[in-house]
Every structure is written in structure tokens, then in C-alpha cells.
Amino acid sequence: MIDSVLQNDKKITEEKLQELLHQMWLIRFFDEKVDEFFAKGLIHGTTHLCVGQEATAAGAIAVLEERDKITSTHRGHGHCIAKGADVKRMMAELFGRVTGYCKGKGGSMHIADLDKGNLGANGIVGGGIPIAVGAALTSQMKKLGYVTISFFGDGATNEGSFHEAINMASIWKLPVIFFCENNQYGMSGPVKEMVNIVNIADRAKSYGIPGVVVDGNDIFTVMKVTAEAVERARNGEGPTLIEAKTYRWKGHSKSDGKKYRTREEEMEWRTRRDPIARMEKVLIEEGILNEEQARSIEQRAKQDIEDAVKFAENSPMPSLDSLLEDVYA
């Protein structure tokens, strides 16, 4: 798989693969640090962590061009980092500081970075899907040539916005990829109790577009499948529905005790299907890096997050005078 990725996508070099490993560690350490600070009551509001899902964001976004767009979800820190966001500004946003992406007023679920093509996280389940279709329509009508990936969870596929948007995108052959991160649970219920099909990607048949199921914890497979969908979209052949089967290690949100699943199930995904460990193992076996280099990449990512925390802690809080600023565009 790694050979086919390197051969078929010139953007994916050995250096890029090492960068992607660093990126996945960044995503994990960022969310683990956020989890720590929420537990201590140092960050307020709520958050939804993507620990264990690092390969979906990193792998899918790796094959995009800089001009391409994404829409994200309430569990969006990984997408944001993978699209090139500054982790210092992200951390500052969660700390409610003026140096954050939304000047400390948006928090975890509202980070956007338009300069990088990130059209924003979204606290509404399925809310980013029609936005992605609108972006794709803009690209088609103005002949801008960019592709949009819309990330969403398994629960969003039961929302009307999913069906309406995917139908419109299919009819007009819009350059958009619908990327479902199926982490096995919609809040506190297993997917198998919420849909009467084995694979969510099978719903693509209803709209006359390809539906592909992929191991969401294998970054190389994610890159390969997404690259094919991006090429198809850029060539005017319309959308693809990708279902990446993955697993969130943490609860749905900070208040989730995860009482609806077994510890044995969690350990299975943590020990045998960890996306970072799997990628690292392949890179070492292929001679792209050695054990010492792998540990160096891990430590660099950890330090990057520690630096982000210091930046956030040393940044000022918004003043009361700014309360009504930025309410309207």
C-alpha cells in the first residue's frame, strides 16, 4: 500500500510521510492536553475529542492541494490541524484568549481558518455538509478548480442535511467528497442499532455515486481512496461517499462516562488498531525512519503542544468592551 501511495501521488514523499506522523502525534497530544485541562476545570464549555481517529483527518487532507477546502464537525481539532492550523492559536481559542482563531469567543466547536481552506467546525450534527456542497458549487460555477471534503460522523448520515446535500451534489456532479468518520457510536448508542445496513457507504447507491468503505485507522489506505475520489471530483465526475471505520478512545464529550461499551473493546482498538503505532511500524519496516527518529518526531510534537499551552496561558483575555464586537460579519 505504501508503494502505491508514493508512486501515484507525487505530493506524498518520504519526507511528507514523516511530516504526517508528526501531524498525527500533534492531533493526539493536542486533544489529550485539552482533555487534561477540561478535567482540571481550566477550560470551560465542552469539547469532543478525536483521540484514536488521527489517520482519517491526516490521511484524507494529505492528498489535497492548498486551494482545496474542508468542512469539519464538532469533533474537529484533527481536521483543523491537518489543514495546517496553528496549534498555538487553537489552544488559545480553547482557553478563551484574544489570540485564538475566534478571539476566544468561539471555543472548541467553532474554529475556522479560511486562509488554509478550513471553512469551519460546526456544533450542528451534519451542519457542515450543505456548506461543503455550496463551496463545491462555487468552485464549479466559477471554474476555480478546487475540491471540498466534508467530514462528518456516522450519526450525521441520518440527518436530512446529509441526504439533501448528497442528492444535489450527485445531480450536479459537484467536486465534493463526503467523508464519514464512522467511530462506531452515535453519542451513546452503537451504529448497528441506528441503521439497518452494515456499511453506511452503501447509501451512495441511492444517489448514483460511488460508495467506498475503508479502514479508517490505516492512513495509507485512507490516502489512496481519498486521492482517487479527489481526482474523480476534480475531473468533473462528481462526488464520492467514503466511510472510514475508526474508533474514538475518549467519550462522546467531556461528560461521557462511556458506560455503554466494554473495556475489552476499548483495549482492542487501543492496542491492535492504534493508527499512529500502525503508521510508525510501516515507516520503520520500509526504512523511511528508524526508532530513534520516530521517538524524536513524537517528542517534537509533544513539545509543540507544550509551547501552545504556554502561548495560550500567556495570552490576554478578551475585555468586556469587546463583548459585542464580531457579532455580525
Q: Name the phi and psi angles at 127, rounded to 5.
A: -65, -25
Could you tell me which residue, 251 or 17, shows the higher pLDDT?
Answer: 17
The contacts of residue 2 (CB under 8 Å, 6+ apart) are 17, 220, 282, 286
The contacts of residue 210 (CB under 8 Å, 6+ apart) are 204, 229, 232, 240, 241
Kindly report which listed range (46-60, 296-310, 314-328) carries the lowest average pLDDT score. 314-328
Q: What's the mean pLDDT when you consider all of the chain?
A: 95
Read off the pLDDT band of 255 (50, 70, 90): confident
Considering only CA atoms, which of 214, 216, 220, 227 is closest in space to residue 282?
220
Specify the pLDDT at position 45. 86
Interval 129-164: pLDDT, tens: 999 999 999 999 999 999 999 999 999 999 999 999
For the chain, the structural domain boundaries read 2-314
DSSP letter string, 8-67: H-TT--HHHHHHHHHHHHHHHHHHHHHHHHHHTT-S-S-----TT-HHHHHHHHHTS-TT
Residue 4 pLDDT > 70: no
Interval 56-101: pLDDT, tens: 999 999 999 999 999 999 999 999 999 999 999 999 999 999 999 9
Specify the pLDDT at position 16. 96
For the domain spanning 2-314, the CATH number is 3.40.50.970
- Report CA dihedral (234, 55, 123, 196) to the nearest 10 degrees: 90
Identity of residue 134: G
Residue 328 pLDDT > 90: no
Could you tell me which residue, 7 or 90, shows the higher pLDDT?
Answer: 90
Q: Which residue has the cell 489552544?
A: 91
Average pLDDT of the residues in 155-175:
97
Q: Give the separation between CA 214 and CA 224, rounded to whole angstroms.
A: 10
Specify the pLDDT at position 1. 67
Q: Which three cell numbers stand for residue 187?
A: 453519542
Q: Give the separation between CA 30 and CA 91, rounded to whole angstroms.
A: 8
Q: Give the separation between CA 161 and CA 126, rounded to whole angstroms.
A: 6
Kindly report which listed range (163-167, 204-208, 244-248, 253-257) carries the lowest average pLDDT score. 253-257
CA 319 to chain centre: 32
The pTM score is 0.94
Helix (H, G, I), strand (E, B) or coil at 118: strand
Specify the pLDDT at position 7. 60
Contact 153, 186 (CB under 8 A): yes
Specify the pLDDT at position 188. 84
Q: Within 13 Å, how many C-alpha atoms sit on residue 170's CB side? A: 18
Q: Give the separation between CA 197 and CA 179, rounded to whole angstroms.
A: 18
Interval 29-45: pLDDT, tens: 999 999 999 989 888 88
Residue 11 pLDDT > 80: no
Interval 200-231: pLDDT, tens: 999 999 999 999 999 999 999 999 999 999 99
